[in-house]
Amino acid sequence: MSKRIDVKDLNVYYSKFLAVEDVSINIEAKSVTAFIGPSGCGKSTFLRTLNRMHEVIPGARVEGEVLLDGDNLYGAGVDPVTVRSQIGMVFQRPNPFPTMSIRDNVLAGVKLNNQKMSKGEADALVERSLRGANLWNEVKDRLQKPGSGLSGGQQQRLCIARAIAVEPQVILMDEPCSALDPISTLAIEDLINDLKDQYTVVIVTHNMQQAARVSDRTAFFNIAGTGKPGKLIEVGDTHTIFSNPTQKATEDYVSGRFG
Amino acid sequence: MTATMTPTPVRKRSSLTKGQLPKAAPYIVLALAMVIGAAILAVVGFNPFGWGIVTAILFAAGLVGWSAVVEGRRKAQDKLATCLVSGAFIVALLPLVSVIWTVLVNGIPGLIAPGFMSSSMNGVTGVFDNKAVEEGAPVVGGIYHALLGTLEITLLATVISVPVGLLTAIYLVEYGADRSLARAITFFVDVMTGIPSIVAGLFAAAFFFAIVGPGTKTGAVAAVALSVLMIPVVVRSSEEMLKIVPNELREAAYALGVRKWRTILKVVIPTAISGIASGVTLAIARVIGETAPILVTAGFATAINANVFSGWMASLPTFIYTQILNPTSPSNPDPSSQRAWGAALVLIILVMLLNLGARLIARVFAPKAGR
Amino acid sequence: MTTTSLTRSRGAGPAGDKVFSGATLAAGCLILAVLFGVALFLVIQAIPALVAPGAEIQGGAGFFAYIWPIVIGTLIAALIALVIATPISIGVALFISHFAPRRLASGLGYVIDLLAAIPSVVYGAWGAAFLAKEISPAYNWLASNMGWLPIFQGPASATGKTILTAGIVLAVMVLPIITSLTREIFLQTPKLHEEAALALGATRWEMIKMTVLPFGRPGIISAVMLGLGRALGETMAVALVLSSGALTASLIQSGNQTIAAEIALNFPEASGLKVSTLIAAGLVLFLITLAVNIVARWIISRHKEFSGAN
């Protein structure tokens, strides 16, 4: 259960301001794709357009097509709520719901949509999701405790468990490790490796070593200057991007000459 | 290295504390001021209040003067400012202490009178009060009808205000963004907080006079008047509470494929509920003691009336007001004043309980963040 | 357009969003309608008094002759309250924000907030039963020693139920309002400014004069304006404390009246044109407080932009 994403000629605007210009990219199913690039180059903005989360920001809009196994996310009659239930998202800072227990956090996507589920089914889903997020062994004895009582890294894995409990096709991750310590980061990176057996994973990261460690393919975004739109410079196998990029800017960035 | 180190000279005072008043200076000046103050007051006739004032003035003058001599003008100015600012705080406490003391002293006899909480003023006439004063009979009559009226009117006002206020706050925070309608609502809610309470009462009266008929005075009219006062308070406090719910939680819910309205109902409001509930409780505490709007909308009643939609209705504040201004027995106002102070004590206890409740709610129902 | 996996709607109630946002919008509009209604119904019910022949209005000389003495009385009472409450409030706010020990500050703030929690009718009862009696010797002293000033002209009221007593009670009631607003502003003074002043060797008072007071000035002004709005509209303190009468210059004789107290004292027994007259008086009070509040809010909003730029 994973789908591919094909983006064709996508422009992203904040009101009049063109934030990301003319991106076309194919994201393979059951693979990890990393977006790298300097701050403000539009990679997070672009990531949000892949599940229409940019619509939360007033004035943000897109032109172009994003196809999920051939179905356009921006086609007529498409409900953003449906899109988001198929393409989940994990955020920069772990954000478990503070009013809910660990168990309820995992079930949030189901419960908030008022879907009926027997206790047995719910228990199975909680265990499956938490195991999927490598968190089960750490929290199985305190499922009724508040999620905000976990450590930062555990909270982030709880958020991943919450995302996969909805059974999406694709998981988007927006710098999921930037607020975590190195050991928690390692746990998340291991988890990403496991996730790609079942899901299509897209990860935005500032950390080039991380991109090199976890991703199969890497896309490099860059920006010409402040006020200019961000652009996709180059996309390819991670190994190629880091060792033998075709573009000068990519080479400068991955070799640490700027950014 | 030759041992040329000289031992640190033993000094009595560090150069950093030179030219300063000793630590005990304020206490010395205070003791002197109290003694001199008592002496001055003894000449003109002693009373504790005057003693306090004279002592405070002498203390400030003495400390500032001493400081001016030893420490210089700048330090003395600083001392003077400290004295004035602390004095302002003490002055502000005086009425608080005095009000609470007056209500306690005068209110307890009324409160412990038999039947005070359980009977109304129905049938209680000046004859009874004259008897109570002249023959020492017990003071009869109570506040049951007024307490019932206050609780019913406030409850109805809360039932009207909370949905309207909370929904408006949700509109402002979740849907309004920067729309001009939202800005207009914010502005007019601010204006509404400044409406004098008696004008709110007149509005409700004028509204019902025009719709139902001249002279319409019921508990429901009073509840509408109180709602006009309560809604802006609920809107402002709920708005503040909804604003501090992190956006990340909303985004987390949207990313799970949850609709906006369910996100608001199931994620945003539960996260803010302790603050909202505490704000609502404070709003209730604010309107439960309002007198003027009830005076012009619910009339006065001496008998129990449990129906807010028909007939005049008593309330604690208007009960206090009428018992003081129009005693039941004009020739012997003492029993009326005793009842008024008893009712005032009950009202203050209600308000303080609500304030305390608001603090407890805020603490107990806050989202658990502890590890 | 063919049906794809994305056009099938999922999740609870797609219609819920419309219903819910509609409900919140309706609530917001209801508030606007209520405020508009306040103005409209007051005007409708007030018109008879404004168009009636002068002889039929109380006093027999028309609405204007009826209203202006009590407008002046309202202003006098509110001014007395502000003159007393403003310096004390600023002192209390400074005490809590900059002088009291950190650990005590929030508790002291709560004590001052208790002043705001006490119902107005209790203040009225306190003013009438306690303050008026205790303060009347002071009025006698003022009358005999400062009587050459028109505002302290004797003979002083024997009961102490004068506009000055009412003003003092009003001052106690607006004090917590002005205090809590100015305290907020003082606490927002940028720490860097304060530390810069202290690092230059300023004493605490010099630091406050250099940084806190200039920073807080717009906030103080608007807090005082909001206190003024409250003092203008406060009813019970005046209705119970003041033994009212014709407009007089002396603050220590009985006499004078405020709009709010006039309405509260007369409305319950009023009928016919008298009701209209009182509602018209309420409309005047509404307009005065509206103007004061709008000016205060305008100052606050300007201040917000100003501090946002820093």
Q: Distance from B257 to chain A by nearest Cα, in Å?
A: 4
Domains of chain C are 27-309 (1.10.3720.10)
> What value does the mean pLDDT take over residues A230-255?
90
Residue in chain A lying closest to B178 (CA)? A58
Strand order of the β-sheet with A200-204 is A71-72, A60-68, A5-14, A17-27, A230-237, A217-223, A32-36, A200-204, A170-174, A87-90
Instruction: Give C-chain residues touching A170 at CB under 8 angstroms.
Output: none
Confidence of residue B173 (pLDDT cuts 50, 70, 90): very high
Tell me the chain A residues in contact with residue B258 when contact means C-beta distances shorter than 8 Å.
Answer: 81, 108-109, 112-113
Domain total in chain B: 2
The predicted structure's pLDDT at residue A202: 95
Reading the block at residue C302, the tokens are: 């300007």
Tell me the nearest-neighbour CA distance from A217 into chain B, angstroms.
Answer: 24
pLDDT at C252: 81
C-alpha–C-alpha distance, residues C290 and C280, integer Å: 15
User: Is the domain of B95 the same as that of B151?
Assistant: no
Q: Tell me if B237 sits within 8 A of B283, measured CB to CB.
A: yes
Q: Is B336 within a domain? A: yes
Q: Quick count: other Cβ atoms within 10 Å of Cβ B265?
A: 15
Q: Which of B84, B109, B134 is the last residue of a domain?
A: B109
Q: Are residues B189 and B58 in the same domain?
A: no
Per-residue confidence band for B224, with pLDDT thresholds at 50, 70 and 90 = very high
Provide mean pLDDT across the span A46-59: 89
Q: Tell whether B260 and B184 lie within a shared domain.
A: yes
Rounded to 5°, the CA angle C240-C245-C251 comes to: 80
CB-based contact, C43 to chain B, within 8 Å? no
The single residue listed with the structure tokens 């640190």 is: B8
Partners of A82 on chain B (C-beta within 8 Å) are 257
Q: For residue B267, list chain A residues with Cβ-Cβ distance below 8 A.
A: 97, 99, 112
* C48 Rama class: left (phi>0) / alpha (psi -120 to 50) / beta: alpha
The answer to whether residue C2 neighbours chain A at the CB level (below 8 Å) is no
> C306 pLDDT band (50/70/90 cuts)?
very low
Last residue in a domain, options B109, B124, B158:
B109
Per-residue pLDDT at C307: 44
- Check: CB of residue C81 under 8 Å from CB of residue C238: no
If asked whether residues B264 and B318 sit together in one domain, one would say: yes
Cα of B11 to nearest chain C Cα, Å: 25
**Pick from B249, B257, B369: which is nearest to A84 by CB?**
B257
DSSP state at residue B20? -
Q: Do B77 and C205 touch (CB under 8 A)?
A: yes
B95 and B157 inside one domain: no
Q: Which of C12, C264, C292 sits opposite B295 (nearest CB)?
A: C264
Residue C127 has a pLDDT of 92
Q: Which of residues 103-142 of A touch B (CB under 8 A)?
A: 108-109, 111-114
Spatial distance between the Cα atoms of A243 and B116, rounded to a whole number of angstroms: 91
**Residue carrying structure tokens 């009559």:** B141
Distance CA B46, CA B40 (A): 9
Residue B18, phi then psi, degrees to nearest 5: -65, 150
Structure tokens at A244: 């033998």
Inter-chain contact B369–A148, Cβ cutoff 8 Å?
yes
Confidence of residue A179 (pLDDT cuts 50, 70, 90): confident
Classify residue B370: in a domain, yes or no: no
- Note the pLDDT tens digit of each residue in C206-260: 999 888 888 888 888 888 988 998 899 888 888 888 888 888 878 888 888 899 9
Residue at B168 is within a domain: yes
User: Do residues B347 and B208 share a domain?
Assistant: yes
Last residue of a domain, one of B88, B109, B130: B109
pLDDT in tens, A128-176: 999 988 899 999 999 999 888 899 889 999 999 999 998 899 999 999 9
For residues B167 and B278, membership in a common domain is answered with yes
Which residue range(s) make up the domain with B30? Answer: 23-109
CA distance B56 to B37: 9
For residue A52, give how far its alpha carbon lies from the nearest alpha carbon of chain C (Å): 12
| Helix, strand, coil fractions of chain B, as percent rounded to 5 | 70, 0, 30
- pLDDT for residue C4 is more than 70: no
**pLDDT-derived band at B229, boundaries 50, 70, 90:** very high
B251 & B344 share domain: yes
pLDDT at B159 over 90: yes
Peptide bond into B214 cis (omega under 30): no
Residue B153: per-residue pLDDT: 95
pLDDT at B237: 93
Contacts of A90 (CB under 8 A, 6+ apart): A156, A159, A160, A163, A171, A172, A173, A174, A176
Which subunits have 3 or more CB–CB pairs within 8 Å of chain A?
Answer: B, C
Average pLDDT in chain C: 85
Check: CB of residue C251 under 8 Å from CB of residue C84: no
Residues 6+ apart with CB under 8 A from B266: A111, A112, B253, B258
Cα of A190 to nearest chain C Cα, Å? 31
Record: contact C1-A75, CB cut-off 8 A: yes
pLDDT surpasses 50 at B371: no
CB pairs under 8 A between A and B: 88
Q: Using CB atoms, pick whichever of C6, C10, C11 lies closest to residue A73.
A: C6
Instruction: Note the pLDDT of residue A110.
Output: 86
Q: Is A86 in CB contact (< 8 Å) with chain B?
A: yes
When scoring A5, A78, A83, A85 by the number of chain C Cβ atoms within 10 A, the one with the most, hence best to mutate, is A78
Q: Which residue segments constitute the domains of chain A, with CATH numbers given?
A: 5-93+170-254 (3.40.50.300)
Considering only CA atoms, which of A81, A45, A66, A80 is closest in space to residue A231? A45
Which chain A residues are closer than 8 Å to B275 by Cβ? none
Q: Which residues are A221's β-sheet partners?
A: A232
Q: Tell me how far apart the alpha carbons of residues B279 and B232 are, in angstroms, rounded to a whole number.
A: 11
Residue in B with minimal Cα distance to C227: B194
| B271, part of any domain | yes
What is the three-state SS of B278-333?
A: HHHHHHHHHHHCCCHHHHCCCCCCCCCCCCCCCCCCCCHHHHHHHHHHCCCCCCCC
Q: Which of C20, C121, C172 sits opposite B289 (nearest CB)?
A: C121
Query: Of A79, A111, A115, A166, which to mutate for an interface test with C (greatest number of C Cβ within 10 Å)?
Result: A79
- The predicted pLDDT at position C9 comes to 54
Q: Which of C259, C216, C251 is nearest to C235 (CA)?
A: C259
User: What is the rounded average pLDDT of the residues B333-340?
Assistant: 88
Strand A217-223, strand A32-36: pairing: parallel
Rounded alpha-carbon distances, angstroms, from residue B343 to B42, B362, C73, C278 = 40, 29, 30, 29
Q: Which residue has the higher pLDDT, C83 or C61?
A: C83
Q: Is residue B263 part of a domain?
A: yes
- C17 → chain A, closest CA residue: A81
Residue C150 class from Cβ within 10 Å (0-12 exposed, 13-18 middle, 19+ buried)? exposed
Task: Among C6, C7, C8, C17, pick the best mutation site for testing chain A contact (most A Cβ within 10 A).
Answer: C6
β-bridge mates for residue A204, sequence order: A35, A174
C2 pLDDT higher than 80: no
Number of neighbours of residue C3 by Cβ within 10 angstroms: 9
Contact residues, chain C, for A79 at CB < 8 Å: 6-7, 9-10, 14
User: Does the pLDDT value for residue C12 go beyond 70?
Assistant: no
Q: Residue B61 contacts by C-beta under 8 Å, 6 or more apart in sequence?
A: none
Inter-chain touch A72–C6, beta carbons under 8 Å: yes
From chain A, the residues in CB contact with B368 under 8 A are: 98, 146, 148-149
Pairing relation of β-strands A200-204 and A71-72?
A: unpaired
Same domain, B221 and B354: yes
CATH number of the domain that B174 lies in? Answer: 1.10.3720.10
What confidence category does residue B1 fall into, taking pLDDT thresholds of 50, 70 and 90? very low
Task: Give the burial class of B8: count Cβ atoms within 10 A of its Cβ; 0-12 exposed, 13-18 middle, 19 or more buried.
Answer: exposed
Lowest mean pLDDT among B8-22, B303-317, B324-338, C191-205: B8-22
Residues B365 and B274: beta-carbon distance below 8 Å: yes
For residue B119, is it within any domain?
Answer: no
Give alpha helix (H) positions in chain A.
Answer: 43-49, 80-86, 102-112, 119-132, 136-139, 152-165, 182-195, 208-214, 238-243, 248-254
Overall average pLDDT of the A98-114 stretch: 88
**Which chains would you list as touching C if contact means 3+ CB atom pairs under 8 Å?**
A, B
B199/B346 same-domain check: yes
What lies within 8 Å, CB to CB, of B14 at 6+ separation is none
Distance CA A91, CA A177 (A): 9
Average pLDDT over residues B312-326: 90
Residue B72 placed within a domain = yes
Q: Do A148 and B262 touch (CB under 8 A)?
A: no
Q: Is the pLDDT of residue B284 over 70?
A: yes
Band (pLDDT 50/70/90 cuts) for residue C11 is: very low
What pLDDT does C309 receive? 32
Low-confidence winner among A45-49, B329-333, B353-357 (lowest mean pLDDT): B329-333
Q: Give the per-residue pLDDT at A259.
A: 56
Residue B127 domain flag: no
Is A82 within 8 Å of C11 when comparing Cβ atoms?
Answer: yes
The tens digit of pLDDT for each residue in B63-78 reads 888 888 888 888 888 8
Instruction: List Cα–Cα distances, B125 to B128, B139, C223, in angstroms.
Output: 6, 11, 47
Chain A interface, Cβ < 8 Å to C:
68-73, 75-79, 81-83, 85-86, 113-115
Give the pLDDT mean for C280-307. Answer: 79
| A106 pLDDT more than 70 | yes
B274 and B162 inside one domain: yes
**């409250």: which residue's tokens?**
C230
Residue at B65: amino acid letter = G
How many residue pairs from chains A and C have C-beta atoms closer than 8 A?
Answer: 46
Question: Do B84 and B221 belong to one domain?
Answer: no
